Amino acid sequence: MENKQDKLVKSITGRDEDFAQWYTDVCRKAELMDYTQAKGFIIYRPYGYAIWENIQKYLDNRFKKSGHENVYMPLVIPESLFMKEAEHVKGFAPETAIITIGGKEELAERLIIRPTSEVLFCEHYAKIVSSYRDLPKKYNQWCSVVRWEKTTRPFLRGSEFLWQEGHTIHATETEAREEVLGMLDIYNELGRDLLAIPFILGKKTDKEKFAGAEETYTIEALMHDGKALQSGTTHYFGTGFAKAFNINFQDKDGVVKPVYQTSWGLSTRLIGAIIMVHGDDSGLVLPPYAAPIQAIIIPIQASKPGVMENALALYKALDTLGIRVKIDDSDKTPGWKFSEYEMKGVPLRIEIGPRDLETGDCIIVKRIDNSKEKVKISELPMIIEDLLASIHRQMYDKALANVAANIRPAYTYEEFKNIIENQPGYVKMMWCGNVECENKIKEDTTATSRCMPFVQERLGEVCPVCGRKAEKEVLFAKAY
């Protein structure tokens, strides 16, 4: 737990010394979150929540432009409703939190805190849909969900986390399938445009798919320590839920049919991804378009003539452009401020001091590589957008190079085990399609199948684990 002393000491564990401890240090010292007395329930502090708000803004805009509407479903699911779809129950029942008391009285029926809201959407859709004219329904909600986890880590695995969950129903299978892949594209573009994280897209194996789904698609990211992080998923349900919940419609041909259904979700887990993809020994490194503060202006010797005037004028000029800029004119030392904003991963630091002012200059320092440059203050507003864009590209390219360098093929199972134990990242290998082989791999190595990538290679004709005919190329990795 953070205590008041912590605030004075900004040093953190080395990233390559103890990655897990480094991660926790960054979460706390960058003031992204705080713990509470309830295990696995964290506080999203302003700086962490603001990153989520930037993700929300991007996605909400994309969702609405593609015809989705926001709704809010209840926090609770009556137990009998929750039990209606068998596979779904099997997947989620073990990790539910349950309200048994309300208004000082034992409840007649126990209420499950939503771990996900499929059944609530299903019950509602069954009531409001009767004709092809009512379709499609493309709903999304922003909320928190609760899943009782034994091991919890900030952002990565919590008893409660924030997310969006989209739930759509369609008249045809084609349209539903387009939705599932279309939303995966939007998730992928979030990574490309906002987070500077390259994802690998693919389909989950049956073992790894969502409870109740026919098919699950995923965006997978690679962390600095070589582990994979499932960063968002979209699900094709076919008519499974529709049949369990009687979501039927009369089609144009007069025939009553069940709807085709999808769901898709993405969570505050992405904040963990940002930390673990981009962070370094000095703390967080934020991609500019997700950063709550894109540029921090630090006056040096603020009492000297012209320093504060120039700092404030620049602040106003950048703010007017829509840049998320702050000025730190507190009485802390410049050195203290430098390490504070390094820890917080602010992409661009702008130092304004009396010496450089003589020539109308300031110093800009990029967080990504600590590179310093002298720039005319008057020119900065004209180049700042390009600067941020180039930082974004630099971060994306670096992350992409890291992924490319850490996908290794395995042609035999011995080779697979050797790579997975000794090298970071993904191992690509052919697979027979049987869950026994996935189970064996997990047992032997703790690695799991991350996905069957959309872009498939043919690495061989047999499954190296069992020797049966190879069906698919699969990416395996140790994962969060």
Residues lying near its own copies in the complex (CB under 8 A): 1-4, 7, 34, 36-38, 41-46, 49-50, 52-53, 69-78, 80-81, 94-104, 110-111, 113, 120, 123-124, 127-128, 130, 133, 139, 143-144, 146, 148-150, 159-160, 162, 330
**Residue 477: φ, ψ to 5°:** -165, 160
Smallest distance from its own copies to CB 386, Å: 27
Which residue, 9 or 38, has its beta carbon nearer to its own copies? 38
Smallest distance from its own copies to CB 422, Å: 35
Smallest distance from its own copies to CB 292, Å: 9
Smallest distance from its own copies to CB 127, Å: 6
Which residue, 337 or 366, has its beta carbon nearer to its own copies? 337
Rounded-to-integer distance, Cα 7 and Cα 216, Å: 43
Smallest distance from its own copies to CB 143, Å: 8
Q: Which two tokens stand for residue 109?
A: 């029926």
Smallest distance from its own copies to CB 371, Å: 31
User: Scanning the structure block, which residue is given the tokens 């008893």?
Assistant: 159
Which residue, 100 or 439, has its beta carbon nearer to its own copies? 100
Residue among 213, 212, 218, 216 nearest 232 (CA): 218
Between the alpha carbon of residue 72 and those of residues 75, 76, 83, 115, the distances in Å are: 9, 12, 21, 15
Smallest distance from its own copies to CB 465, Å: 33
Which residue, 37 or 422, has its beta carbon nearer to its own copies? 37
Smallest distance from its own copies to CB 124, Å: 6
Which residue, 215 or 329, has its beta carbon nearer to its own copies? 329
Smallest distance from its own copies to CB 31, Å: 8
Which residue, 54 or 216, has its beta carbon nearer to its own copies? 54
Smallest distance from its own copies to CB 73, Å: 6
Residue among 339, 403, 408, 351 nearest 375 (CA): 351
CB distance 117 to 167 below 8 Å: yes
Q: Which value, to the nearest 10 degrees, does the dihedral of the CA atoms of residues 27, 33, 34, 38 take?
A: -110
User: Scanning the structure block, which residue is given the tokens 């202006």?
Assistant: 297
Which residue, 89 or 407, has its beta carbon nearer to its own copies? 89
Strands (E), 120-254: 137-146, 160-170, 200-203, 215-222, 228-238, 248-250
**Residue 395: φ, ψ to 5°:** -70, -40
Task: Say whether the peptide bond before residue 115 is cis (omega within 30 degrees of 0).
Answer: no
The 448-453 sheet, strands edge to edge: 69-70, 137-146, 160-170, 260-267, 228-238, 215-222, 200-203, 448-453, 472-477, 426-431, 407-409
Which residue, 114 or 428, has its beta carbon nearer to its own copies? 114
Smallest distance from its own copies to CB 341, Å: 17
Burial class (CB in 10 A: 0-12, 13-18, 19+), 310: buried
Which residue, 120 or 432, has its beta carbon nearer to its own copies? 120
Which residue, 9 or 128, has its beta carbon nearer to its own copies? 128
The C-alpha angle with vertex 315 and arms to 313 and 320, in degrees rounded to 5, equals 100
Which residue, 104 or 458, has its beta carbon nearer to its own copies? 104
Smallest distance from its own copies to CB 69, Å: 4
Q: Which two tokens stand for residue 260?
A: 């085709």
Which residue, 46 or 467, has its beta carbon nearer to its own copies? 46
Q: Which letter does DSSP use for residue 325 in this model?
A: E
Residue type, 184: L
* Alpha carbons within 13 A on the beta-carbon side of 53: 11
Rounded-to-integer distance, Cα 154 and Cα 52, Å: 14
CB distance 194 to 289 below 8 Å: yes
Within 10 angstroms of residue 261's Cβ, the number of other Cβ atoms is: 30
